Amino acid sequence: MELECQACYDSKPIIKALRMQKKNLTKQLSVLRKKCSRLRQKLTMEMTIKRKCSSYFSSSQKNKLQGKKRTKWGNKDMVRAISLKSTSRKAFRLIKEEWKLPLPSSSTINRWMKTFACNPGILENVMEVLRIQSNELDTFSKLCVINFDEMNVSSDIIWDRTSDKILGPFSNAHVILLRGLCSNWKQPIYYNFDEGMTKDLLSTIIKRLEEIGFIVCALVSDLGGKNQGLWKELGINERNTYFLSPYDFKRKIYVFADIPHMLKLLRNHLIDEGIQLKDGTIVNKAVFQNLIKKNELELKLCPKLSQNIIDLNGAQRMRVRPAAQLLSLHCSKLAKHCYPENPQIAIFIQTVNDIFDLFNTRTPTDSKCFAYGLNLESQLNLLHESIVLFESLRVLTNSNRCRKSIIWFQKGFLVSISSLQALYENLRQTYKVKYLLTSRLTQDALENIFSLIRSMGSRSLHPNPLEFKYRFRMLLLGARLPIPKGANCKPSEEDTILFSATLCQKADLSNIVEIQNDTEIDEIDKTIEFVIESAQEGQLMQESTVLAGQLNVKNEALSYIAGYIAYKLRKAGKFLDIGQPTAKCMQENDADSCQSWIMTLSKGGLLVPSENLLTNVKDMEDVFNSSYETFSRSTNIFKNLIEACNKKIPHVQHEIVEEFVKLRLKIRLKHLNEEHRNIKKQKWECKNAKKAKMFSDSLK
C-alpha cells in the first residue's frame, strides 16, 4: 500500500508536466488551426483571383508575371498586343512600361509581323485562310460582296528595307474588300498603288474566290473616273445592271454604286448649280438659304439645318453627314411648312431621304426603315418613285439651262435601285433569302478600314507607301479595332475581320521567344535623321556670308557623314582607329580640323574621320552617284549598290560600305522628295496664277 502511495506521489510531477504539455499543445493547435483557416481563406481568394484572371491573362502572360526570364508568346498574345498598339502607341507604352502588365515588346511584335508577307497585289496568305474558313461556313455565309476604293497616300519616294525596293511616288492606294452579304464578316484581300480596278483584275479575283468556295453576288464602287471606265467596259448602264460571273456564266453579279457617295454628289450639284424637277420646279442653294433664314430663331424647327452644312469647302464637301442633314426628313418637313404653295420641294427632299434610308438598313427592323424585303410593297413603291425622280431630274448649267441628259450620280442611283430589286429576287428564289441588310451594299466597311489606317498615324493622315503597307499589315493581324470618331461612315460593331477571327486557330506562324529586358528596335534611326538634316545644313552654308568661300560644301558634308559612320562603328566596338573625338583635335591644335564644319558643330563629342576613311567615303560617293540611276528601280537596290561599291573599291570593309549606302540612300530619297514637292508647289502656283489672270481678264 505504501509503495502504491509512493508511486502516486512520484507521478504527480509527471502528470503535472504532461498536463502543462497538453495545454501548450492545445494552444499551439488552436494557433495552427487559426493559421490554417487564414491560409485556406487566402488560398481560396488566390484561387478565385487566378480563376478570374485566367480569362484576362494567357499562359505566357502568367509566366511573365511569375518572373520567368524567357517567355514564348503565342499568336493570341501577339494579336492582342498588335490591336492595342494599333489603337494607340502611347497607351501601349503606358500599359507595358508604367503599369507593368505583361505584353510582348515592340521588337518582338515587329519580328512576328515580318513572318506575314503583305506585298502589293492579291494577299496569298489571306486567300489561304479564306480557303480554310470556307470549309466551316454555310452557304448563306459564303454569299459575299466585293468592295473596292482608293485612299490618298503621300507622294514620297521611300525605300522598303524588307523587300529592298524603292516605293513611289504614288498618289493613292487601291484596296479590295470582301464582305459577307448575309453574315457579319469582312476581309481585305488585295491592295496596290496607283492600280485601279480593271476587268481582268476583277475576273481574276472573282475566279480565285469562287474556286475556294465563296459566291460573289454583287460589286460595289463609287463613280470615280476609273470606275466609270470599268462600268462601260462591263456594259453597265440603267438598262443592264449586271454582268455574268467569269467562273460560272449562268450566274449574274449585280453592280451597285455607293449610295452615300451618290448622296454627296447630289448635294454638291444641288448647292453649286441647282436642279430642275419634272414639273419645272427649281431647287438650288437659294431655296435652302431661305429655309435657314426662317429657321434662325432660338427655338428652331430644324436644329440640324444651318449655314455650316451649305458652305463647305475642300474635303468637307465629301463628308456624308452634311449631305444627309441637308436632305433629311426634318428638312423636308420644314420645306413643306415654309413652301405650302410648292409641295414638290418637300416631296423631293423626302424621297431622297427615304431612298438613302432604304439603302442604309443595318438591322431587320431598323428605326428608320425595315430591311429590304420585310415591307416589300411600300419599298417597291418607293423605288418606283425614285426611278421616276432621278430619270426626270436635270442638273442646271452655269447659265441656268438644263442639261439634256442625266449625269453619273443619277446613273448611280438608277443602277443601284434596279440591282437591288433584281438581286433580292435572285437570292429569294435561289437561296430562300427573306431580307437584305442594304448597308452591306455600300462602301462603309471599306471607309472604316481607311479611317483605321489613317488613325494609326497621329500626324500623318496621308501615309507614304511604306507606312500604308505596315499599317495595312497591322490591321490584318490585329483584332477588332474601334472606329475613330469623325470617320466618314457609321461603325458596325458586328463586323469582324475574318483573318483576325481565325488567326489563332488557322495561321501557321511560329511563336517568338522573347528574352527579358529585350531592347526595342526602332526602324527609323533618329540619329540618321539628324545626320540628314545636318548634311542638308551643309548644303545651305553657301548662303551664309560668314562661311561662304571658306568651306567646300560637298566635301564638308561627306566629312560629316564619314564622322557619323566612324562614330556609329566605334560605338559598336569596331574599327576604333577610323576617327578621333574633336576634343582631342582641339588639344592637338589641328588647324585643318579646327576649320571644318564638324568642329564648328561639335562641343567635343563628335568624331573627325581619319584621312583613309574620308577618302573611301568620297570614292563611295562617286560610285553611288554613277550607279543610283541604274539601280533605282531594281528590286534589290540596297544590295546592288553595296555590290557596286565592293566591286570598284574592294579594300573597304563591308560594314563601312553598308553604313554608307544605307545613310546615302536616305539622303537621296529625302532630296528627291523635296524636289518633287517643289515641282508640285510650282505647278499649283502656276495654276492659281492662270486662274487669277483669267479672272482679271474677264473683268476688263
- Residue 535: predicted pLDDT: 38
Q: Quick check: 493 pLDDT over 70?
A: no
- Please give the grid coordinates belonging to residue 24: 501548450
Q: How far apart are CA 626 and CA 633, in angstroms?
A: 14
Of 233-242, 433-442, 666-675, least confident by mean pLDDT is 666-675
pLDDT per residue as tens digits for the range 115-154: 788 889 999 988 988 888 888 889 999 999 999 999 999 9
Closest by CA position to 617, among listed 533, 522, 535: 535
pLDDT band at 486 (very low <50, low <70, confident <90, very high): low
- Please give the grid coordinates belonging to residue 350: 423626302
Q: Which residue has the higher pLDDT, 571 or 596?
A: 571
pLDDT per residue as tens digits for the range 385-427: 999 999 999 999 887 888 889 999 999 999 999 999 999 999 9
Of 246-250, 560-564, 658-662, least confident by mean pLDDT is 560-564
Q: How far apart are CA 123 and CA 475, in angstroms?
A: 13
User: Quick one: average pLDDT of 42-52?
Assistant: 79
HSE at residue 640, side-chain half, CA atoms within 13 A, is 16
- Residue 439: predicted pLDDT: 93
Residues pairing with 221 in the sheet: 257
Q: At 277, which helix (H) or strand (E)?
A: none
Is residue 436 a contact partner of residue 422, using CB atoms and an 8 Å limit?
no
* Residue 164 neighbours by CB under 8 Å, 6+ apart: 635, 636, 637, 638, 639
Strands (E), 89-202: 121-122, 143-152, 158-160, 165-167, 172-180, 186-193
Share of the chain above pLDDT 70, in %: 84
- Residue 299: predicted pLDDT: 67
Of 201-215, 442-456, 499-513, 592-606, least confident by mean pLDDT is 499-513
Residues pairing with 191 in the sheet: 121, 175
User: Quick one: average pLDDT of 215-230?
Assistant: 94
Q: How many CB atoms lie within 10 A of CB 425?
A: 12
Is residue 254 a contact partner of residue 217, using CB atoms and an 8 Å limit?
yes
pLDDT per residue as tens digits for the range 318-336: 889 999 999 998 898 888 8
What does 460-504 look like in DSSP terms, one character per residue?
A: -SS--HHHHHHHHHHHHHS---PPPTT-SS---TT--BHHHHHHH
pLDDT per residue as tens digits for the range 435-461: 999 999 999 999 989 988 888 865 667
- Residue 541: predicted pLDDT: 34
pLDDT per residue as tens digits for the range 358-375: 999 998 987 678 999 999
Q: How far apart are CA 30 and CA 45, in angstroms?
A: 22
Strands in 121-122's sheet, in edge-to-edge order, are 121-122, 186-193, 172-180, 143-152, 215-221, 252-257, 242-244
Q: How far apart are CA 496 and CA 498, in angstroms?
A: 6
Share of the chain above pLDDT 90, in %: 33
User: Quick one: average pLDDT of 179-192?
Assistant: 92
Mean residue pLDDT across the chain: 82
- Residue 563: predicted pLDDT: 86
Tell me which long-range contacts 169-173 makes (C-beta under 8 A, separation of at least 24): 169/676, 170/194, 170/465, 173/465, 173/468, 173/472
What Cα–Cα distance (Å) separates residue 171 from each residue in 154, 174, 192?
6, 10, 11
- Residue 80: predicted pLDDT: 82
Closest by CA position to 624, among listed 603, 644, 596: 644
